[in-house]
Amino acid sequence: MDPSWSVGDDTGFVPRPFVVRLGTGTLARPAILRVRSGLAWAPTLDAFAAWLHAATDIEVCFVDDGPTDLAVVEVTTMESESYCLVVDETGISIRAKSSRGLANGLSTLAQLLAKSTNNGAVLGHLTIDDSPRFSWRGVHLDIARHFFGPNEITRLIDLMWLHRLNTLHLHLNDDQGWRLEIPRWPRLAEVASRRDSSPLGHVTEEVDNGIAHGGLLTLDDARDLVAYALARGVDIVPEIDLPGHAQAVIAAYPELGSGESAQVWTRWGISERVLNVDEPALRFAEEVLETVMSVFPGPFVHIGGDECPTIEWERDERAARVMAERGFTSARQLQGLFTDREATALRAGGRRAVAWDEVLDASVPSDVVIAAWRHVSLGRRAAEAGYDVMMAAMEHLYFDWPNAEDPNEPLALLPSPFATPWEKVYAFNVMPPGLDPALAHHILGAQAQLWTEYIATVEHLDYMAFPRLCAFSEVAWGTSGDADEFRHRLEQHVQLLDLIGVNYRRLD
């Protein structure tokens, strides 16, 4: 679709749709929005109705016959996530091919209806033809460092839907905690899901709070989250990060590591404790992924693969034996054993593996999606090597970095000058510089990261996410342009965030 929009588009949508045509008439905003019942996409309409009732005074009423205020029309020739929203003298209509397209259209309509209270409770006539440029428009949430449960996750899903973001990446394990029930490995729930303490202040200060922290998603929790997300056009990508980031696993099952006992780590950073390379450890990773696939039906599963120290492998006789058998010259190559086994297990289950860009340092199956986080150049390198890529560049898209170079900002991963204001997010180009246009199809999209070493509450999560996530949503949708024009819309949009209780960082 041609990335153009009409002059005079003052509707304040975030992200901006590709094409907005404004009419001259108005339609009274309905107090009750009548929708035909029995439609195929009922869960998506139910989700919209629940959000609208909570955020405004408008109720959605499903009727069997008679007039309606919102017509939903299936158009099989449209693209999956496309929609056409029309407001005219006959009412409101949304045309879409799928529930995902409808979810996008309802998101735009939700913004229009919520903001219409500031416009005399009328809707201007308009036509919106819209379709995303990128298929992966993601938000990553780390629930391993600080646990966020189903209520907090569903709240984030609602906010993603409102901004037409479609992929929630859940980081489910790390050195500091394991967060998903695995029935075949019960000590993950009994031991690995709880740590005795957490750093107080910045980790370099070496002061702990002495407060136990834990939490776990049951398999039923996971299934409920999947259904909730799908109704809002969001896929959940679960991440099991192995063989590094494994100290919580080893606290529960020391035999999967060096054999030495450990506790769930109470420090931030990268532990040297990793899984060993014997068959039982490789099989453990496969069995965990089998359980993950049983409850998360989406096409992608993230297998981590980042920041895996090799110190234990370098002094392990078992690792030396495996290296000799396989002709490896570096302990770093041992990580490829996990990548191969995990990718094979996922492929057998009809899924694709996603991995952080460090896996490029060893052998990587050709169907693995590379999450390029260390630098945008690694995204280009992966695409040039024939891999599909999700861009997660830390200098633009790591929202655990502070919002501004201001000593009054809350504690964050990095100090000033490592700040990422929304303007820097908005300036991000999903396409890596220098990439041959013929390889552009390998860039699936982009993702913003919320690592939670220093984020322990919903209020702080909001503050670190917004309004940066607003800027990111427009970048990922593909309609970012002039930052001053976006700021004008953002100043309107934060009034909606106020309405729904988001604790965003105020605009400077």
Instruction: Supply the residues annotated as catalytic.
Output: 174, 245, 307
Which residues, in sequence order, are bridge partners of residue 95?
A: 73, 84
**C-alpha–C-alpha distance, residues 453 and 399, integer Å:** 12
Give CA–CA dist 496/330, Å, rounded: 54
Q: Is-contact 399 414, C-beta < 8 A?
A: no
CA distance 292 to 240: 9
DSSP state of 427: T
Is residue 464 within 8 A of residue 156, CB to CB? The reply is no
Buried b (16+ CB within 10 A) or exposed e, 23-55: eeeebebbeebbbeeeeebeebbebbbebbeeb
How far is residue 387's CA from residue 380's CA, in Å, rounded to a whole number? Answer: 10
Reported as half-sphere exposure (CB side, CA atoms, 13 A), residue 378 has a value of 19
Q: Are strands 167-171 and 32-36 parallel, antiparallel or unpaired?
A: unpaired
Measured CA distances, 72 to 95, 101, 279 (Å): 6, 11, 53
Angle at 425 between CA 419 and CA 428, to 5 degrees: 125
Task: Compute the radius of gyration of the chain from its Cα atoms.
Answer: 24
**Nearest-angstrom CA–CA distance, 96 and 82:** 6
